[in-house]
Chain A
Amino acid sequence: MDWGQIFNQSASSIISTTTIAYALAALGLGVHFGQAGLLNMGVAGFMAVGAYGYAISILTFGFPWWLAAIVALLAAVVFAMILGVPTLRLRGDYLAIVTIAAAEVLRLLLLTVAFEEVTGSADGLYGYSGDFQAANPIPDGEYGFGPWQFNQNELWPIVIGIVLLALAVLLVWAMMRSPWGRVLRGIREDEDAVRALGKNVFAYKMQALIIGGVIIAAGGIVYTLGSNASPGVYVTSLTFFVYTIVLLGGAATVFGPVLGAVIFWVLQFFLSNLMPALVDAGVLPFMTANQAGMVRFILVGVGLMLLVIFMPQGILGNKKEMTFVK
């Protein structure tokens, strides 16, 4: 067993585009679920809007990559409004059902052969990163040290991702310490009390849904920047993974979702390298390599249950603050 390689792989996932994309998605969900108490179960849908909005803008409409990214973010605004208008006046679980259903409808629309020319159906979309890579200002070469070594093509999406993540964290941090953020948290704790104070609860919820949705869609863009957009990624399990991340780090905190994403992916990479290696080494004679690969997903589920029951405030959260919406 090559412990060096296992630790190297796990450590390198700290700043992979996947981790950054999930961190953005978790940050957006933190605004929805942690701050405003909105049960958005359509994280996968928002990410798909970002990813496909970006890819389709380039492939079908021939936009430059930065314009495509802006179009994708605007698409997320529209998606949030479509979801929010009918449901934000209703009880919380209606938003959950509508968002999860809408995300699934969107995935099926991306998957159907009827729109294959635009969406690529089950194959997804690829071959759109030329313009993005052409805009890469980083000179050719190898960068970094230890487990974090990238060439200029790998480094470019990571740089863009980190910049986006930093901007998003700054935005959420600034908003949450503003009066607007306090009203939002007030809505989470007691909607009727805030309404009695004369605040337009619906408008606040809508703004939170849009801002969080745009951040989640930015995660979808980062996820697809340098690679491809595949409909198999945007399943409901993705939503549940992001929930696990948010609850792990601390839903009602600004940095919690980012920390959660890093821990989640380091653990995932660690287990995905460790388990098959253990099977190869004969330590787990009752498992096949495939079964060993399943164990980490089972652990995500078990971990999510234990987190919600025993540590609902997350690592960075304050136990007094995180009361779940009724």
Chain B
Amino acid sequence: MRPTTRSGVSAVWRIATMLLLALGLATLLGGGPAVAAEGDPFKIAGNVQNEGEAIEGVSITVDGPGGPQTVETGPRGQWQVSVPESAEYTVVLDVDTLPEGITLDDPEDDTPETKEVTPNVPFAPKAVNFFIGEGDRESSAFATQLVQRLVQGINFGLMLGLASVGLSLVFGTTGISNFAHGEMVTFGAVIALWLGGTAFIGASLWIALPLAVLLSGLLGLAMDAVIWRPLRHRSVGVVQLMIVSIGLSLAIRYIFQYFIGGGTEQLPGSTPQKIDIIGPIRMTKVDIVSMVIAIIVIVAFALWLTYSRLGKATRAISDNPGLASASGIDVDFVVRVVWILASALAGLAGVLYAYYRPGIKWDMGTQVLLLMFAAVTLGGLGTAFGALIGALIIGIIVETSSLFIPADLRFASALAILIIILLVRPQGILGRRERIG
């Protein structure tokens, strides 16, 4: 066997080598592997190799009708078991018996060490392929993985929180359930791509990213001036406003697709290199920077909302617009500030999300729109701090749930929890009873 002394960190180039199986005769003549019930008609077989080098002594367990059987791979990496029935069998490769530095690696599969097979032709061995690659074996320890997912969840939750507070504030001050908020998230990322992308203007990221956030704020100002303020003065109903925002969302989304196409674009500066932080926690530089930015902005925003005159006025309008207006608060001005802030925060979240995904796509904001609504509803409609808490919960649920359910259902788990919460506590965590009507 070739020595594989590759350090875990450089797992970047993991070549997933497809492991071949031994078909019938070759293995049978090899005569090596232990066969549990020799006379059984159906056979399951495989060959464990890494880049053409056979791996000996790997433990493989086959379970199904007839009971579990465990075999070890022979000197040429081959293994075979005989089973009594043509039924579904579970084949599990014991990852701990793999040599150091080699791991199972299949990007399509969450549990690459487990395969399901059904042998159907008697005496013709049914092949089982495992994908083996070199690299760190992070899938082994559940606790480690849980901690990593939690950190990722907090990261995602903070990002979601940045976007959700704006959605919540807009809802609180104007009553609009803004379906175009997802497009405001995409806008930040698309502008960052346009300014900083090497295929476009190619400005330094230090200029491109802040400018993208600034332009996002301008988008909010423009939307308020052109659409929302005139509609407010016509006293259009909230349901109509919601449908207007749906139309706006469709229009902006397809305008993005008009300009950047249907593919995924990358922002410069993204590295897959992970750095060890504490214990099992490992993150990329971009993740760390993104979390720090999110925390600083959220804290600053919370201080502004709690202590500044404008922040207090915002909360007053959220509570009771009529009373706030009668007390001399300039509602139009405050609402305009809220739109600018909400849009800028959404744009910032979009830039961070572009690094987190990673990539920029025309409908990336729409993909998280429902998670933002979930966060806002979970925290309590119209309460800014509730939206933050809701976003963290949603972020953690999304990231950790893929430990228990298929990864492509992780967004579904968050939405299912939203529905359940509405059943139990419809006003949300920080909401008040009278709002639910």
Q: Which residues of A contact B (CB under 8 A)?
A: 39, 86-87, 90-94, 96-98, 100-102, 104-105, 108-109, 111-114, 236-237, 240, 243-244, 247, 290-291, 294-295, 297-298, 300-309, 312, 323-326
- A301-B248, A309-B244, A324-B240 known; A108-B426 Cβ under 8 A: no
Asked whether A305 lies within 8 Å of B436 as measured between CB atoms, the reply is: no
Within the assembled complex, what's the spacing in Å between the Cα atoms of A104 and B374? 12
Q: Among the listed A97, A243, A306, which residue makes an inter-chain contact with B373, where contact means beta carbons less than 8 Å apart? A: A97
Asked whether B250 lies within 8 Å of A300 as measured between CB atoms, the reply is: yes
Within the assembled complex, what's the spacing in Å between the Cα atoms of A191 and B242? 20
> Is B201 an interface residue when CB atoms closer than 8 A count as contact?
no
Within the assembled complex, what's the spacing in Å between the Cα atoms of A295 and B234? 29
Q: Which single residue of chain A is at the shortest CB-CB distance from B366?
A: A236
Considering residues A91, A102, A111, A298, which has the most beta carbons from chain B within 10 angstroms of its beta carbon? Answer: A298
* B217-255 contact mask (Cβ, 8 Å, vs A): 1 or 0: 000000000010001001011111011101111111111
Question: What are 27 A-to-B residue pairs whose CB atoms are below 8 Å?
Answer: A86-B423, A93-B381, A94-B377, A94-B436, A97-B422, A98-B422, A104-B415, A105-B412, A108-B409, A108-B412, A112-B412, A114-B405, A114-B409, A243-B246, A244-B247, A291-B258, A295-B258, A297-B250, A298-B255, A301-B247, A303-B247, A305-B244, A308-B240, A309-B234, A324-B237, A325-B237, A325-B239
Asked whether A101 lies within 8 Å of B248 as measured between CB atoms, the reply is: no
Asked whether B419 lies within 8 Å of A102 as measured between CB atoms, the reply is: yes
> Is B257 an interface residue when CB atoms closer than 8 A count as contact?
yes
Asked whether A101 lies within 8 Å of B423 as measured between CB atoms, the reply is: no
- Chain A residues with CB under 8 A of B186: none
Asked whether B243 lies within 8 Å of A247 as measured between CB atoms, the reply is: yes
Asked whether A39 lies within 8 Å of B239 as measured between CB atoms, the reply is: yes
**CB neighbors of A among B164-199 (8 A):** 177
Considering residues B246, B374, B409, which has the most beta carbons from chain A within 10 angstroms of its beta carbon? Answer: B246
Interface SS, B side: helix
Q: Which single residue of chain A is at the shortest CB-CB distance from B418?
A: A101
Q: Which residues of B contact A (CB under 8 A)?
A: 177, 227, 231, 234, 236-240, 242-244, 246-255, 257-258, 261, 366, 370, 373-374, 377, 381, 405-406, 408-409, 411-412, 415-416, 418-419, 422-423, 426, 435-437
- Chain B residues with CB under 8 A of A325: 237, 239
Least distance between B88 CB and chain A CB atoms (Å) = 11
Among all A-B residue pairs, the 7 with the closest Cβ atoms: A301-B251, A301-B250, A304-B247, A305-B247, A91-B437, A108-B412, A297-B254
- Chain B residues with CB under 8 A of A87: 422
Within the assembled complex, what's the spacing in Å between the Cα atoms of A237 and B253? 11
Asked whether A290 lies within 8 Å of B261 as measured between CB atoms, the reply is: yes
Within the assembled complex, what's the spacing in Å between the Cα atoms of A55 and B250? 30
Within the assembled complex, what's the spacing in Å between the Cα atoms of A90 and B381? 13
Within the assembled complex, what's the spacing in Å between the Cα atoms of A280 and B303? 57
- Chain A residues with CB under 8 A of B254: 294, 297-298, 301
Q: Which single residue of chain B is at the shortest CB-CB distance from A295?
A: B258
- Chain A residues with CB under 8 A of B257: 294, 297
Considering residues A101, A237, A247, A300, which has the most beta carbons from chain B within 10 angstroms of its beta carbon? Answer: A101
- Chain A residues with CB under 8 A of B437: 90-91
Within the assembled complex, what's the spacing in Å between the Cα atoms of A236 and B258? 19
Asked whether A101 lies within 8 Å of B426 as measured between CB atoms, the reply is: no
Q: Among the listed B251, B255, B405, B419, which residue makes an inter-chain contact with A98, where contact means beta carbons less than 8 Å apart? A: B419
Q: Which single residue of chain A is at the shortest CB-CB distance from B253?
A: A301
- Chain A residues with CB under 8 A of B426: 90, 94
Asked whether B237 lies within 8 Å of A104 as measured between CB atoms, the reply is: no
Within the assembled complex, what's the spacing in Å between the Cα atoms of A141 and B381? 60
